[in-house]
Structure 1
């Protein structure tokens, strides 16, 4: 089964709704996890991992660093998806926090994040890696935020998490290029995260995109999320000259390094 079809299935609302019993849902996830484990392995990878080559080494040994880069990128993505998944679950589970008019939006986003977690865990398992355990999160960042008692702060962190996710996925694209299926799925997740970010930004009366390094009415504590977004030089072309700095920078979203993404996520890990 094509891994993209699996991801589409995991994103199907009916897959997670009351139309199926809890047992059926668990069974479906388990079955799809097994299929994802097979689909995520590129053709012949199993043989590459076990077939000796001349010189007494195996192809698995010679490609160890390559595989580590791929799986490290997936582990990082999993931490970020764990964070978002848990955040929206807690927000939706907090009585009176999210206005009724906005609940549908966050229920849908939450389903997407759950699907992303399921995919990443299956992809890692298929590559012979144990998915990292979900951390214990502190969404107050040691008392600096109150997202579950103040809806405005809930939206602020939702925007920060989504904007971080968009940039982090882009920053890891080069590290997952060794696996075409994973790369394609990661790009699909990236575009969905971008839609989340745009939606949440508009819910805060911001533009749906980022201009310069300005997150849009965001506290200074979130500045690292937007650092570098002021770049207007793309492949030697100065977009500011043609369109102005704001429009030029907004035309190209900047990638975020893995270390920067880890630093941001670590602020919310207990």
Structure 2
């Protein structure tokens, strides 16, 4: 498809496109001026630049972006350090074979997230927050977190479930954030896979009656981690009650399972603060 045809098709969907550009004539002149220099390989890049001119909007303020990235970095520091400490215990904590390989893989992912976020912050002119000192016993709430496999997996599940909701809760603040929003959503989906796998590991060891997803606000762990799950019991989305919607037999449990809810910054900080040494 030629560029002229592409522009015409976009205009059919959005007649105001040319007004958001400097002028259609100028845009066509830019395209014509490329001439033979515009190779097939360069076309997607050129078109992307053109559409950015047409639809580009100011993204979130840099200060806000840096705050969100450092917020995410703190959570990733927490998870990466948690798995690093567990891996260091070897088979005294996590059984050899598939369990140890899974924890190693998840730990590697969290370490990669830390490296990415630090790089993104520095390349954007910001300063990464320092890695805190952690107390994974949460002040004695989980005294055997690195000696009891069941406790370790319970805390791991809580961290992963919280991470999923934390990214979801602040993603909207990165709207028009371009690559940073894409990266945040990419990390969010990986955290969800981690959470599902840890839940399956707990189920396989009879450490909890859990599913790969959350039913209502049930943690499958107990009241000690309830703050990480409060709010997940919602059955209304965008003002629409999902229970028995359209005459279908949809229970409140199924309706809550079908959607995840985000956590606010204050909620997340309240959850993780017991794990940060004073």
Q: Same fold (TM over 0.5)?
A: yes
* Residue equivalent to 2:33: none
Give the aligned length.
208
Q: Tell me what 1:164 maps to.
A: 162
Which residue of structure 1 lines up, in the alignment, with residue 137 of structure 2?
Answer: 140
Deviation per residue, 1:207-239 (Å, 9 max, x gap): 1000100012x1211000001000000012111
Equivalent residue for 2:53?
none
Report if aligned partners of 1:70, 1:178 keep a CA contact under 8 Å in 2: no
Dislocated runs of 4+, deviation >6 Å:
none
The structure whose RCO (Cα within 8 Å, separation 6+) is larger is: 1
The separation in 1 between residues aligned to 2:224 and 2:252, in whole angstroms, is 24
- Out of 232, 236, 261, the residue aligned to residue 229 of structure 1 is 232
Equivalent residue runs for 1:46-85 within 5 Å: 66-85=61-80
Question: Scaled by the length of structure 2, what TM-score is found?
Answer: 0.72
Residue in 2 that maps onto 1:214: 218
Post-superposition CA distance 1:120-178 (Å, at most 9, x none):
10111122111001000000011110210111000000000000000000011012224
Q: Which residue of 1 aligns with 2:179?
A: 181
Whole-angstrom CA distance in 1 between matches of 2:260 and 2:59:
31
Cα distance in structure 2, aligned partners of 1:64 and 1:166: 23
Structure 2: which 5+ runs fail to align?
1-48, 50-57, 204-209
Aligned match of 1:240 = 243
For 1:117-156, list aligned pairs within 5 A: 117-145=114-142, 146-156=144-154
Structure 1 residue ranges without an equivalent (≥5)? 1-42, 44-62
Structure 1 residues 210 and 64, CA, compared in 2 at 3 Å: closer, same or farther? closer
| Matched-pair contact (CA < 8 Å) for 2:66–2:126 | yes
Return the alpha-carbon distance in structure 2 between the equivalents of residues 141 and 104 of structure 1: 26
Indicate conservation of the 8 Å contact 1:81/1:117, yes or no.
yes
